[in-house]
Protein backbone atom coordinates (compact mmCIF):
# COMPACT_ATOMS: atom_id res chain seq x y z
CA UNK A 1 0.00 0.00 0.00
CA UNK A 2 1.23 3.47 -0.84
CA UNK A 3 2.30 5.62 2.04
CA UNK A 4 0.40 8.96 2.00
CA UNK A 5 3.48 10.77 3.29
CA UNK A 6 5.61 9.81 0.30
CA UNK A 7 5.99 11.84 -2.84
CA UNK A 8 4.81 9.51 -5.60
CA UNK A 9 7.13 9.18 -8.64
CA UNK A 10 5.44 10.67 -11.72
CA UNK A 11 6.56 11.93 -15.13
CA UNK A 12 8.57 15.14 -14.93
CA UNK A 13 9.49 14.71 -11.27
CA UNK A 14 13.16 15.29 -10.36
CA UNK A 15 14.62 12.60 -8.11
CA UNK A 16 17.62 13.43 -5.92
CA UNK A 17 18.11 16.69 -7.87
CA UNK A 18 19.50 14.83 -10.88
CA UNK A 19 17.17 12.20 -12.35
CA UNK A 20 14.19 13.52 -14.31
CA UNK A 21 11.48 10.89 -14.69
CA UNK A 22 10.35 10.46 -18.30
CA UNK A 23 8.09 7.43 -17.89
CA UNK A 24 6.74 5.23 -15.10
CA UNK A 25 7.32 1.65 -16.19
CA UNK A 26 5.96 -0.47 -13.34
CA UNK A 27 4.63 -0.43 -9.81
CA UNK A 28 4.82 -3.69 -7.88
CA UNK A 29 5.04 -4.69 -4.22
CA UNK A 30 5.35 -1.03 -3.26
CA UNK A 31 8.36 -0.50 -5.51
CA UNK A 32 8.35 1.76 -8.56
CA UNK A 33 10.47 1.38 -11.71
CA UNK A 34 10.86 4.40 -14.00
CA UNK A 35 12.85 5.52 -16.99
CA UNK A 36 14.69 8.75 -16.29
CA UNK A 37 17.39 11.04 -17.61
CA UNK A 38 20.41 12.00 -15.55
CA UNK A 39 20.56 15.74 -16.20
CA UNK A 40 24.26 16.25 -15.53
CA UNK A 41 25.39 13.64 -18.06
CA UNK A 42 22.32 13.60 -20.32
CA UNK A 43 22.14 9.82 -20.17
CA UNK A 44 19.16 7.49 -19.86
CA UNK A 45 18.85 5.37 -16.74
CA UNK A 46 16.43 2.90 -15.23
CA UNK A 47 15.54 4.07 -11.75
CA UNK A 48 14.18 1.73 -9.09
CA UNK A 49 12.59 3.18 -5.98
CA UNK A 50 11.50 1.37 -2.81
CA UNK A 51 9.96 3.05 0.28
CA UNK A 52 12.46 3.02 3.15
CA UNK A 53 9.69 2.15 5.61
CA UNK A 54 8.37 -0.69 3.43
CA UNK A 55 8.65 -4.43 4.10
CA UNK A 56 12.10 -5.09 5.57
CA UNK A 57 12.68 -8.07 3.28
CA UNK A 58 12.03 -6.01 0.13
CA UNK A 59 14.22 -3.19 1.43
CA UNK A 60 17.02 -5.67 2.20
CA UNK A 61 16.63 -7.20 -1.26
CA UNK A 62 16.92 -3.74 -2.79
CA UNK A 63 20.11 -2.97 -0.87
CA UNK A 64 21.49 -6.34 -1.88
CA UNK A 65 20.83 -5.62 -5.56
CA UNK A 66 22.84 -2.42 -5.29
CA UNK A 67 25.69 -4.31 -3.64
CA UNK A 68 25.53 -7.11 -6.19
CA UNK A 69 25.58 -4.83 -9.21
CA UNK A 70 28.35 -2.74 -7.69
CA UNK A 71 30.60 -5.82 -7.81
CA UNK A 72 30.02 -6.44 -11.51
CA UNK A 73 31.64 -4.97 -14.59
CA UNK A 74 30.60 -7.01 -17.61
CA UNK A 75 28.67 -6.06 -20.78
CA UNK A 76 26.17 -8.87 -20.18
CA UNK A 77 25.35 -7.52 -16.69
CA UNK A 78 23.62 -4.16 -16.40
CA UNK A 79 25.81 -1.37 -14.93
CA UNK A 80 24.91 0.39 -11.69
CA UNK A 81 25.53 4.15 -11.64
CA UNK A 82 24.27 5.35 -8.29
CA UNK A 83 22.13 4.54 -5.25
CA UNK A 84 20.95 6.47 -2.26
CA UNK A 85 17.89 7.88 -0.48
CA UNK A 86 15.40 10.55 -1.50
CA UNK A 87 12.21 11.80 0.16
CA UNK A 88 11.65 8.54 2.08
CA UNK A 89 12.63 6.35 -0.89
CA UNK A 90 15.65 4.13 -1.52
CA UNK A 91 16.69 4.51 -5.13
CA UNK A 92 19.00 2.65 -7.50
CA UNK A 93 20.08 4.04 -10.88
CA UNK A 94 21.25 1.49 -13.46
CA UNK A 95 22.09 1.70 -17.14
CA UNK A 96 19.12 1.89 -19.47
CA UNK A 97 19.39 -0.94 -22.01
CA UNK A 98 17.43 -0.14 -25.15
CA UNK A 99 16.19 -3.33 -26.69
CA UNK A 100 13.69 -6.17 -26.67
CA UNK A 101 12.87 -8.32 -23.66
CA UNK A 102 13.60 -11.93 -24.54
CA UNK A 103 10.16 -13.04 -23.33
CA UNK A 104 8.69 -11.03 -26.23
CA UNK A 105 10.80 -13.05 -28.69
CA UNK A 106 9.65 -16.46 -27.49
CA UNK A 107 6.98 -18.54 -29.20
CA UNK A 108 8.89 -19.68 -32.29
CA UNK A 109 12.07 -21.78 -32.40
CA UNK A 110 15.26 -19.80 -32.79
CA UNK A 111 18.02 -20.78 -35.17
CA UNK A 112 20.30 -22.92 -32.96
CA UNK A 113 23.41 -20.89 -33.81
CA UNK A 114 21.68 -17.63 -32.83
CA UNK A 115 20.19 -19.14 -29.67
CA UNK A 116 23.55 -20.47 -28.50
CA UNK A 117 25.22 -17.12 -29.28
CA UNK A 118 22.72 -15.24 -27.08
CA UNK A 119 22.91 -17.69 -24.19
CA UNK A 120 26.70 -17.88 -24.44
CA UNK A 121 26.91 -14.13 -23.80
CA UNK A 122 24.65 -14.56 -20.77
CA UNK A 123 26.68 -17.52 -19.51
CA UNK A 124 29.79 -15.37 -19.67
CA UNK A 125 27.97 -12.73 -17.66
CA UNK A 126 27.06 -15.34 -15.05
CA UNK A 127 30.65 -16.59 -15.06
CA UNK A 128 31.75 -13.03 -14.21
CA UNK A 129 29.09 -12.71 -11.49
CA UNK A 130 29.75 -16.12 -9.93
CA UNK A 131 33.49 -15.43 -9.76
CA UNK A 132 32.62 -12.41 -7.61
CA UNK A 133 30.27 -14.25 -5.31
CA UNK A 134 27.04 -12.94 -6.90
CA UNK A 135 24.16 -15.31 -7.68
CA UNK A 136 21.22 -13.92 -9.66
CA UNK A 137 18.53 -16.44 -8.51
CA UNK A 138 15.88 -15.42 -11.06
CA UNK A 139 17.30 -16.10 -14.52
CA UNK A 140 14.37 -16.19 -16.95
CA UNK A 141 13.33 -14.54 -20.25
CA UNK A 142 11.74 -11.48 -18.61
CA UNK A 143 15.12 -10.68 -16.99
CA UNK A 144 17.01 -10.76 -20.31
CA UNK A 145 17.21 -7.85 -22.76
CA UNK A 146 18.40 -8.13 -26.35
CA UNK A 147 20.11 -4.73 -26.88
CA UNK A 148 19.83 -2.75 -30.10
CA UNK A 149 23.05 -0.89 -29.30
CA UNK A 150 25.89 -2.66 -31.10
CA UNK A 151 28.44 -0.83 -28.95
CA UNK A 152 27.55 -3.14 -26.05
CA UNK A 153 29.35 -6.00 -27.84
CA UNK A 154 26.88 -8.56 -26.48
CA UNK A 155 23.72 -10.06 -27.90
CA UNK A 156 21.97 -10.09 -24.52
CA UNK A 157 22.14 -8.46 -21.10
CA UNK A 158 20.97 -9.85 -17.78
CA UNK A 159 18.97 -7.32 -15.79
CA UNK A 160 17.14 -7.10 -12.47
CA UNK A 161 19.36 -8.57 -9.78
CA UNK A 162 16.57 -7.91 -7.24
CA UNK A 163 16.71 -11.49 -5.94
CA UNK A 164 20.49 -11.71 -6.07
CA UNK A 165 22.36 -13.37 -3.24
CA UNK A 166 25.82 -12.33 -2.17
CA UNK A 167 27.75 -15.46 -1.27
CA UNK A 168 29.31 -15.43 2.18
CA UNK A 169 26.82 -12.79 3.34
CA UNK A 170 25.47 -13.04 6.88
CA UNK A 171 21.82 -12.71 5.92
CA UNK A 172 19.32 -14.35 3.63
CA UNK A 173 16.17 -12.35 3.06
CA UNK A 174 14.19 -15.45 2.05
CA UNK A 175 14.87 -17.26 5.34
CA UNK A 176 11.65 -18.69 6.76
CA UNK A 177 9.70 -17.77 3.61
CA UNK A 178 8.65 -19.55 0.43
CA UNK A 179 11.46 -19.72 -2.12
CA UNK A 180 11.46 -16.74 -4.44
CA UNK A 181 11.89 -17.08 -8.18
CA UNK A 182 9.85 -17.83 -11.28
CA UNK A 183 7.99 -21.15 -11.72
CA UNK A 184 9.45 -23.07 -14.62
CA UNK A 185 12.90 -21.53 -14.20
CA UNK A 186 13.61 -21.81 -10.47
CA UNK A 187 15.99 -24.69 -9.71
CA UNK A 188 14.27 -27.75 -8.17
CA UNK A 189 16.46 -27.69 -5.04
CA UNK A 190 15.21 -24.17 -4.31
CA UNK A 191 11.69 -25.58 -4.06
CA UNK A 192 12.96 -27.77 -1.22
CA UNK A 193 14.42 -24.85 0.70
CA UNK A 194 17.99 -24.73 -0.59
CA UNK A 195 19.60 -21.31 -0.99
CA UNK A 196 20.26 -20.04 -4.46
CA UNK A 197 23.71 -20.93 -5.78
CA UNK A 198 25.53 -20.75 -9.14
CA UNK A 199 24.15 -24.14 -10.20
CA UNK A 200 20.65 -22.72 -9.78
CA UNK A 201 21.47 -19.90 -12.21
CA UNK A 202 22.76 -22.50 -14.67
CA UNK A 203 19.43 -24.34 -14.42
CA UNK A 204 17.43 -21.20 -15.20
CA UNK A 205 19.61 -20.30 -18.19
CA UNK A 206 19.50 -23.91 -19.42
CA UNK A 207 15.70 -23.78 -19.44
CA UNK A 208 15.87 -20.46 -21.33
CA UNK A 209 18.05 -22.07 -24.01
CA UNK A 210 15.74 -25.10 -24.22
CA UNK A 211 12.78 -22.76 -24.72
CA UNK A 212 14.57 -20.75 -27.42
CA UNK A 213 15.47 -23.90 -29.34
CA UNK A 214 11.97 -25.42 -29.19
CA UNK A 215 9.80 -22.31 -29.28
CA UNK A 216 8.06 -23.17 -26.03
CA UNK A 217 8.86 -23.99 -22.42
CA UNK A 218 9.66 -27.69 -21.87
CA UNK A 219 6.65 -27.90 -19.53
CA UNK A 220 4.31 -25.71 -21.56
CA UNK A 221 0.63 -26.38 -20.99
CA UNK A 222 0.94 -27.38 -17.34
CA UNK A 223 -0.47 -25.39 -14.43
CA UNK A 224 2.08 -23.62 -12.26
CA UNK A 225 1.70 -26.15 -9.44
CA UNK A 226 2.18 -29.02 -11.91
CA UNK A 227 5.21 -27.29 -13.42
CA UNK A 228 6.85 -27.11 -9.99
CA UNK A 229 6.04 -30.78 -9.33
CA UNK A 230 7.44 -31.84 -12.70
CA UNK A 231 10.62 -29.85 -12.08
CA UNK A 232 11.12 -31.46 -8.68
CA UNK A 233 10.76 -34.91 -10.25
CA UNK A 234 13.10 -34.10 -13.13
CA UNK A 235 10.30 -34.71 -15.62
CA UNK A 236 11.60 -32.40 -18.37
CA UNK A 237 11.37 -34.07 -21.81
CA UNK A 238 14.78 -34.59 -23.46
CA UNK A 239 15.61 -31.82 -25.91
CA UNK A 240 16.30 -34.47 -28.57
CA UNK A 241 12.58 -35.30 -28.59
CA UNK A 242 11.56 -31.70 -29.20
CA UNK A 243 14.04 -30.33 -31.74
CA UNK A 244 13.56 -30.93 -35.49
CA UNK A 245 15.87 -33.57 -37.01
CA UNK A 246 19.19 -32.22 -38.20
CA UNK A 247 18.97 -29.04 -36.13
CA UNK A 248 20.93 -30.22 -33.11
CA UNK A 249 24.30 -31.81 -32.40
CA UNK A 250 25.39 -34.18 -29.61
CA UNK A 251 27.34 -31.36 -27.92
CA UNK A 252 24.31 -29.04 -27.93
CA UNK A 253 21.98 -31.72 -26.53
CA UNK A 254 24.61 -32.56 -23.90
CA UNK A 255 24.98 -28.93 -22.80
CA UNK A 256 21.23 -28.42 -22.35
CA UNK A 257 20.82 -31.77 -20.60
CA UNK A 258 23.65 -31.09 -18.15
CA UNK A 259 22.38 -27.55 -17.48
CA UNK A 260 18.82 -28.68 -16.65
CA UNK A 261 19.43 -31.75 -14.49
CA UNK A 262 17.07 -31.81 -11.50
CA UNK A 263 19.84 -33.03 -9.19
CA UNK A 264 22.27 -30.13 -8.66
CA UNK A 265 25.11 -32.60 -8.06
CA UNK A 266 24.70 -33.84 -11.67
CA UNK A 267 24.36 -30.35 -13.14
CA UNK A 268 26.96 -27.99 -14.57
CA UNK A 269 28.03 -26.12 -11.46
CA UNK A 270 28.45 -22.50 -12.52
CA UNK A 271 28.67 -19.96 -15.32
CA UNK A 272 32.23 -21.01 -16.16
CA UNK A 273 31.21 -24.64 -16.77
CA UNK A 274 28.18 -23.58 -18.80
CA UNK A 275 30.34 -21.26 -20.90
CA UNK A 276 32.74 -24.09 -21.72
CA UNK A 277 29.84 -26.40 -22.65
CA UNK A 278 28.26 -23.75 -24.89
CA UNK A 279 31.56 -23.01 -26.63
CA UNK A 280 31.73 -26.69 -27.53
CA UNK A 281 28.09 -26.61 -28.68
CA UNK A 282 28.75 -23.55 -30.85
CA UNK A 283 31.79 -25.21 -32.44
CA UNK A 284 29.78 -28.36 -33.17
CA UNK A 285 27.05 -26.33 -34.89
CA UNK A 286 29.49 -24.39 -37.08
CA UNK A 287 32.37 -26.79 -37.78
CA UNK A 288 31.29 -29.92 -39.70
CA UNK A 289 34.53 -31.64 -38.71
CA UNK A 290 33.42 -31.80 -35.04
CA UNK A 291 29.63 -31.82 -35.28
CA UNK A 292 29.42 -35.44 -34.13
CA UNK A 293 31.73 -35.02 -31.13
CA UNK A 294 30.49 -34.64 -27.57
CA UNK A 295 32.03 -33.56 -24.24
CA UNK A 296 32.10 -35.69 -21.11
CA UNK A 297 31.68 -34.72 -17.47
CA UNK A 298 34.38 -36.27 -15.30
CA UNK A 299 33.62 -35.28 -11.74
CA UNK A 300 32.96 -31.57 -12.13
CA UNK A 301 35.39 -31.18 -15.03
CA UNK A 302 34.25 -30.94 -18.64
CA UNK A 303 36.51 -33.01 -20.90
CA UNK A 304 36.39 -32.35 -24.64
CA UNK A 305 37.77 -34.51 -27.46
CA UNK A 306 40.94 -32.79 -28.74
CA UNK A 307 39.41 -31.67 -32.05
CA UNK A 308 36.35 -30.23 -30.30
CA UNK A 309 38.58 -28.56 -27.70
CA UNK A 310 40.55 -26.85 -30.47
CA UNK A 311 37.41 -25.79 -32.36
CA UNK A 312 35.79 -24.40 -29.21
CA UNK A 313 38.69 -21.95 -28.84
CA UNK A 314 38.00 -20.44 -32.27
CA UNK A 315 35.89 -17.32 -32.58
CA UNK A 316 32.57 -17.31 -34.42
CA UNK A 317 33.98 -15.63 -37.54
CA UNK A 318 36.64 -18.33 -37.97
CA UNK A 319 34.09 -21.09 -37.46
CA UNK A 320 31.75 -19.52 -40.02
CA UNK A 321 34.54 -19.43 -42.62
CA UNK A 322 35.24 -23.10 -41.92
CA UNK A 323 31.56 -24.01 -42.24
CA UNK A 324 31.18 -22.13 -45.53
CA UNK A 325 34.29 -23.80 -46.93
CA UNK A 326 32.89 -27.22 -46.03
CA UNK A 327 29.62 -26.39 -47.74
CA UNK A 328 31.48 -25.47 -50.92
CA UNK A 329 33.46 -28.71 -50.87
CA UNK A 330 30.32 -30.84 -51.15
CA UNK A 331 29.12 -29.59 -54.58
CA UNK A 332 32.73 -29.49 -55.80
CA UNK A 333 33.07 -33.16 -54.96
CA UNK A 334 29.99 -34.01 -56.98
CA UNK A 335 31.23 -31.94 -59.95
CA UNK A 336 34.60 -33.70 -59.87
CA UNK A 337 32.85 -37.08 -59.82
CA UNK A 338 30.75 -36.01 -62.80
CA UNK A 339 33.87 -35.00 -64.73
CA UNK A 340 35.45 -38.40 -64.17
CA UNK A 341 32.29 -40.21 -65.26
CA UNK A 342 31.96 -38.11 -68.41
CA UNK A 343 35.61 -38.63 -69.33
CA UNK A 344 35.27 -42.36 -68.89
CA UNK A 345 32.28 -42.26 -71.24
CA UNK A 346 34.20 -40.27 -73.86
CA UNK A 347 32.06 -37.12 -73.47
CA UNK A 348 34.99 -34.68 -73.52
CA UNK A 349 32.95 -31.54 -74.31
CA UNK A 350 30.59 -32.11 -71.39
CA UNK A 351 33.54 -32.88 -69.14
CA UNK A 352 35.18 -29.61 -70.17
CA UNK A 353 31.98 -27.73 -69.27
CA UNK A 354 31.95 -29.27 -65.83
CA UNK A 355 35.63 -28.38 -65.36
CA UNK A 356 34.73 -24.76 -66.14
CA UNK A 357 31.98 -24.91 -63.53
CA UNK A 358 34.46 -26.39 -61.08
CA UNK A 359 36.92 -23.56 -61.78
CA UNK A 360 34.19 -20.94 -61.20
CA UNK A 361 33.28 -22.48 -57.86
CA UNK A 362 36.90 -22.47 -56.76
Q: What is the DSSP letter of 77?
A: B
Residues 6 or more apart whose CB falls under 8 angstroms from that of 14 comprise 20, 21, 39
Question: Which position among 82, 104, 111, 138 bears the catalytic label?
Answer: 138
**Residue 138 is among the residues annotated as catalytic for this protein:** yes
Q: How far apart are CA 182 and CA 27, in angstroms?
A: 18
Q: Which of 32, 54, 64 is nearest to 180 (CA)?
A: 64
The rounded distance, in Å, linking the Cα atoms of 253 and 243 is: 10
Cα–Cα dist 64/58, whole Å: 10
Residue 108 burial (CB < 10 Å; 0-12/13-18/19+)? exposed
Cα(139)–Cα(160) distance, rounded to whole angstroms? 9
Long-range contacts of 216-219 (CB under 8 A, 24+ apart): 216/106, 216/107, 217/184, 218/242, 218/260, 219/184
**CB-CB contact of 259 with 277 (8 Å):** yes
* Residues pairing with 158 in the sheet: 77, 144
Number of Cβ atoms within 10 Å of the Cβ of 290: 26
The catalytic residues are: 138
Amino acid sequence: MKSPSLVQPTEGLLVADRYEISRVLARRQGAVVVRAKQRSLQREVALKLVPKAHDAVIAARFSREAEALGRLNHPACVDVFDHGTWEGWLYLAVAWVEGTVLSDRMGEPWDPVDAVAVVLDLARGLEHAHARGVVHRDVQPARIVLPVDGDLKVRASLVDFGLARIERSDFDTTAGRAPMGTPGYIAPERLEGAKGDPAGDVYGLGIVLYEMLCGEHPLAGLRSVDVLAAQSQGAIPPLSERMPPGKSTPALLWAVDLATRADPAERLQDGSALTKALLAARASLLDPAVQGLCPELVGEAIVLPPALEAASREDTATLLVRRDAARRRLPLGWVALGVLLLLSAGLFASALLLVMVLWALL
